[in-house]
Amino acid sequence: MPRDARRDGPEAPRHHVTGDGWVVCGCGHRHWGLHGAAGLLLVRRDAAGRPADVVLQHRALWSDAGGTWALPGGARAEDESAEQAALREAHEEAGVDAAAVRVLGTHVLEHPGWSYTTVLAEVLAPFTPAVTDAESLEVAWVPLDAVTDRPLLPAFADAWPTLRARLERR
């Protein structure tokens, strides 16, 4: 996710895609991603197959809503699907190898003229997420019951009960 253009300070280094940029949707809200945005909700299951932990990103202070926790994600490129964007962003920001995950489905937040797609996935092989670019202060496996103990990005906080229920139904 980008630095908030209203704040002072240098732009931190980041990967750029053709969809980088701010838009105002039909509701009048400002969003990142000229072609929408996507993020990866990656779950790790316990021995009984129950969801145990999810990968969360502690967002860099210079980013929009900096200092909050959310999913690795960002703007979709013009020619990329939401799934491709979420997997690319998770690789760039958290070191997630797309070959080590299985996509389970999507959840879409629609605004007129803009959308954010959460791609739900489960890890197939053990790995440790890591900070792999300047957009993260920390990346970690967070127990499901501890997600709301962290200061969450407001939109993620709003979506979390629905997303958690989807993970638990699988």
Whose tokens are 């709301």? That residue is: 148
Residue 93 backbone phi and psi in degrees, to 5: -100, -20
**For 137-162, what is each residue's pLDDT tens digit?**
999 999 999 999 999 999 999 999 99
DSSP 21: S
6 domain residue, yes or no: no
Closest CA to 77 of 14, 15, 19: 19
Residues near 8 by beta carbon (within 8 Å), at least 6 away in sequence: none
More reliable by pLDDT, 115 or 17: 115
Residue 73 domain-assigned?
A: yes
Domain of 121, in residue numbers: 22-169
Flag whether 159 is in a domain: yes
* 9 falls within a domain: no
Judge whether 114 lies within some domain: yes
Mean pLDDT, residues 8-37 taken together? 70
CATH of the domain at 147: 3.90.79.10
| pLDDT bracket for residue 15 (50, 70, 90) | low
Asked if residue 2 belongs to a domain, the reply is: no
Per the structure, the count of domains in the chain is 1
Q: Among residues 41, 67, 65, 69, which one has the least CA distance to residue 57?
A: 69
Q: Judge whether residue 5 has pLDDT over 80.
A: no
Query: The pTM is what?
Result: 0.85
